[in-house]
Amino acid sequence: MFHTLLIANRGEIACRVIRSAQRMGLRAVAVYSEADQDALHVKLADAAVCIGPARAAESYLDIEAILAAARQTGSQAIHPGYGFLSENENFAAACEAAGIAFVGPSARAIAAMGDKAAAKALMEKADVPLVPGYHGDNQEPDFLLARARDAGFPVLLKPAAGGGGKGMRVVRAAGEFKTALAGAKREAASSFGDDRILIERFLERSRHIEVQVFGDTQGTVVHLFERDCSVQRRYQKVFEEAPAPGLGAAQREAMTRAAVNAASAIGYTGAGTVEFIAETSADRPGELTGKFYFMEMNTRLQVEHPVTEMITGIDLVEWQLRVAAGEPLPLAQEDIRRSGHAIEARLYAERAEREFMPSTGRIAALALPAGEAGLRVDTGVETGSEITAWYDPMIAKLIAHGKDRAEALARLARALPDVFVAGVHSNAAFLGRIATSAAFREAALDTTLIERERAAIFPAPASPGIEVLAAAAWATLRDEARAHPEAHDPHSPWNIPDGWRMNQDAAHEFLFLDKDAEDAPCTLQLVFAGGETLLVVDGARAPLSVTELPDGSLSLRLGARSFKARVAREGRILHVLAAGASRRLTLKDDLEAVDAVAGSGSLAAQLPGKLVAVMVAAGDKVSRGDPLLVIEAMKMEHTLSAPRDGRIAEVYFRTGDAVAEGAQLLRLEDEQGGGKADFG
């Protein structure tokens, strides 16, 4: 076994690998870009080396910089994590040439399976069933359109050289094909440096089931059972679980055998995942028909590997390191057992209600559930960390294990309401609604679940609950008291937010504006009378008592109800989590005037990025909903559309320009020349 390991990655996976390496007695070396100098993985490592600017192409994708860091630190092995260079055969070959162990498969195996088109050709020769489509080299648009017609619309466009949902497009009609193809090629080239696209018939109702495989240098290949990854948004996974619900023994045997055969055919070593599309019943969502097709093989560790670890008790990173050191697999196939059920939820910095737009900024406060048996939290950020537009916006993964699916799901559903993220938006509430939805609870899983359950998962905005308002009001008084010059004295009456007045009652009135519901007003009072505190909302009164706990959270009792809350202040905004509900509130007196443009239906550059397409020019007439331009940020494309009918008066940027968050992108006016609105 080597003594020093360099992790050529960042964020949650870098932290994950560091912990296993250090537990095994290895010295863990981190690399970081200039944007990540204060990142959690840098703090956890035994040593760290800066490898370049924030842009991934100049840091985390710079093979020479990473190899130089390995030589500088005496690293004998490099773990690539997932994403970045993890499936880059040139990187694996460069490590080998430098005499450094690559913790992953050979360059030859990566080339065979990392190229999705080549992998399909290989599986076709091995008689593994494939989805109808095209995976050849001819990339001429008219030729690809003809192949799409042969496969039958709708079709799915997929990058030949990558995965993770980036560059994928569903095309439902021939008239949409070339526009979608151009976008898919742009995103594929940006993410993977290769714009080749393959075509598959799009199965409207299907399940995504994958098999974890492992090979060693002695020629042994085993599987560690399967995972279901069907619940997805924008073709990226949101929930994963193991084992796959409703998968019969015969189909499990067929899938795992096919996966092991596929890995054995290329002499695979290390951790890999063979992914299948499984058909489901048209009448009963999630029910498998028995038909499945090879989709792709990922020649790396997967984001969702913790669910496999939870049901097998095996540390997959430790296995990776032992295999890379030339050791045989620790267990034979017959000795690998599974126990219980595990479910993972991915916590992202994003706005689910706005088509999952990533959210950037500083994490002002972060609290993740911990301490419960059977609950694991993997994260790469902490309070104070920055979510930037340069990298994936993942905050954490919550993984729950139980004796069966019901117990695992109950444990996860209890944990999600305790997630508190301030400073950036998160999808915590969205995850909680999925976890408690009838469809997910009943395992009616397929890739359409989020759309099928849209009404339940994306409910109309509701007023903040009384629990949220109570916590916000009390925290406001507490902060005002602590702002007094004498508040540092724990015995000072200024340090007690109880509203006490000599010989009289006291009342504090609050007018909060709900930032998550277009500044809807919320009025309440805290009345201090006869030694108790009363919360008054719409004339109804209830006694309120609050205890501040050592971890900074609040324990509140409101009438007969008891609940916990967290409150964090970020400038004028109060981030409140109470009784499982999260809200951003602002005291009206603290508000500045609202820009008149904000209410005009205009768009904003929601996050910094690069302008990759401009579909309009000055003088063009547009209708509400027409696409205007496309910004690439966080490795994904985001289309900005017209908020109303009108005429383009001016376009401020050109294709290829970098745009800052909030930048004015173009100006829209009505057809008579009035009613101008800046897009910025």
Q: What string of H, E and C letters represents the secondary structure of 196-260?
A: CEEEEECCCCEEEEEEEEEECCCCCEEEEEEEECCCEECCEECEEEECCCCCCHHHHHHHHHHHH
Q: Determine the Cα–Cα distance for residues 199 and 128; give it in Å rounded to an integer.
A: 17
pLDDT at 539: 83
DSSP 282: S
Q: Determine the Cα–Cα distance for residues 165 and 167; give it in Å rounded to an integer.
A: 6
For the cut 90, the answer to whether the pLDDT of residue 588 exceeds it is no
pLDDT at 321: 98
Specify the range with the lowest mean pLDDT, choosing from 255-269, 469-483, 636-650: 636-650
Q: Determine the Cα–Cα distance for residues 275 and 296; give it in Å rounded to an integer.
A: 5
Q: Alpha carbon of 18 to those of 50, 80, 290, 297, 392: distances in Å?
A: 17, 12, 40, 25, 19
Q: Determine the Cα–Cα distance for residues 329 and 202; give it in Å rounded to an integer.
A: 38
pLDDT at 406: 98
Reported as a pLDDT band with limits 50, 70 and 90, residue 604 is: low
Q: Alpha carbon of 107 to those of 90, 110, 116, 447, 483: distances in Å?
A: 7, 5, 15, 32, 61
Residue 328 tokens read as 């045989």
Residue 129 neighbours by CB under 8 Å, 6+ apart:
291, 292, 293, 294
Judge whether 349 and 360 are in contact, CB under 8 Å: yes
pLDDT at 600: 37
In sequence order, what DSSP letters do the residues of 579-609 get, joined into one string? TTEEEEEEEGGGPPPPPGGGGTT-----S-E
DSSP 489: S
Q: Determine the Cα–Cα distance for residues 302 and 316; give it in Å rounded to an integer.
A: 10
For the cut 60, the answer to whether the pLDDT of residue 194 exceeds it is yes
Question: In the structure, how many helices (H) and strands (E) does the chain have?
Answer: 17, 41
Specify the range with the lowest mean pLDDT, choosing from 15-24, 410-419, 617-626: 617-626
Residue environment code for 583-615, b if the CB has 16+ CB neighbours within 10 A, otherwise e = bbbbbeeeeeeeeeeeeeebbbbbbbbbbbbbb
For the cut 70, the answer to whether the pLDDT of residue 84 exceeds it is yes
pLDDT at 407: 98
Q: Do the first three CATH levels of 204-338 and 596-679 match, i.e. the same topology?
A: no
Reported as a pLDDT band with limits 50, 70 and 90, residue 490 is: low
Helix boundaries (H) for 24-163: 40-44, 63-73, 89-97, 107-114, 116-125, 141-151
Reported as a pLDDT band with limits 50, 70 and 90, residue 140 is: very high
pLDDT at 638: 74
**Closest of 431, 586, 455, 457 to residue 518, by C-alpha:** 586
What percent of the chain is helix, strand and coil (3-state, nearest 5)? Answer: 30, 35, 40
Q: Alpha carbon of 146 to those of 134, 199, 304: distances in Å?
A: 10, 11, 36
Q: Determine the Cα–Cα distance for residues 313 and 302; give it in Å rounded to an integer.
A: 17
CATH 3.40.605.10 is right for the domain spanning 596-679: no
- Catalytic choice (201, 227, 300, 566): 300
Instruction: Give the residues across from 198 on adjacent strands.
Output: 158
Specify the range with the lowest mean pLDDT, choosing from 92-96, 150-154, 425-429, 506-510: 506-510
Q: Quick one: 132-201 is in which CATH superfamily?
A: ATP-grasp fold, A domain (3.30.1490.20)
Contacts of 522-526 with C-beta under 8 Å, sequence gap 24+, read: 522/463, 522/464, 522/469, 522/585, 524/469, 524/470, 524/473, 526/473, 526/474, 526/477, 526/499
Judge whether 134 and 144 are in contact, CB under 8 Å: yes
Tell me the CA end-to-end span of the chain in Å, nearest whole number: 55
CATH of 4-103 given 1.10.460.10, 1.10.10.350, 3.50.50.60, 3.40.50.20 = 3.40.50.20
Q: Determine the Cα–Cα distance for residues 281 and 41; give it in Å rounded to an integer.
A: 44
DSSP 329: P
**Closest of 89, 90, 91 to residue 78, by C-alpha:** 91
Other C-beta atoms closer than 10 Å to the C-beta of 13 total: 28
Judge whether 623 and 642 are in contact, CB under 8 Å: yes
Higher-confidence residue: 248 or 603?
248
Per-chain mean pLDDT for the chain: 89
Q: Determine the Cα–Cα distance for residues 590 and 511; give it in Å rounded to an integer.
A: 10
Other C-beta atoms closer than 10 Å to the C-beta of 658 total: 11
% of the chain beyond a pLDDT of 90: 64
pLDDT at 50: 98
CATH of 204-338 given 3.20.19.10, 3.30.470.20, 2.30.40.10, 3.40.50.1820 = 3.30.470.20
For the cut 50, the answer to whether the pLDDT of residue 610 exceeds it is yes
For the cut 90, the answer to whether the pLDDT of residue 72 exceeds it is yes
CATH of 466-590 given 3.40.50.300, 3.30.700.40, 3.40.50.10140, 3.30.70.270 = 3.30.700.40
CATH of 340-459 given 3.30.470.20, 3.40.50.720, 1.10.10.1100, 3.40.50.2300 = 3.30.470.20
**Closest of 446, 123, 128 to residue 283, by C-alpha:** 446
328-367 pLDDT tens trace:
999 999 999 999 999 999 999 999 988 898 999 999 999 9
Cα-Cα-Cα-Cα dihedral sign, residues 257, 262, 263, 266: positive
238-285 pLDDT tens trace:
999 999 999 999 999 999 998 998 899 889 999 999 999 999 988 888
Domain ranges of the chain: 4-103, 132-201, 204-338, 340-459, 466-590, 596-679
Q: What is the dihedral of CA 574, 577, 579, 580, to 10 degrees?
A: 140
Residue 451 neighbours by CB under 8 Å, 6+ apart:
none
- Whether 454 is catalytic is no
Amino acid found at 580: G
- Tokens 């619940």 correspond to 231
pLDDT at 429: 93
Helix boundaries (H) for 437-495: 438-441, 449-452, 454-457, 466-482
Q: Determine the Cα–Cα distance for residues 402 and 400; give it in Å rounded to an integer.
A: 7
Please give the average per-residue pLDDT across 141-160, as a whole number: 94
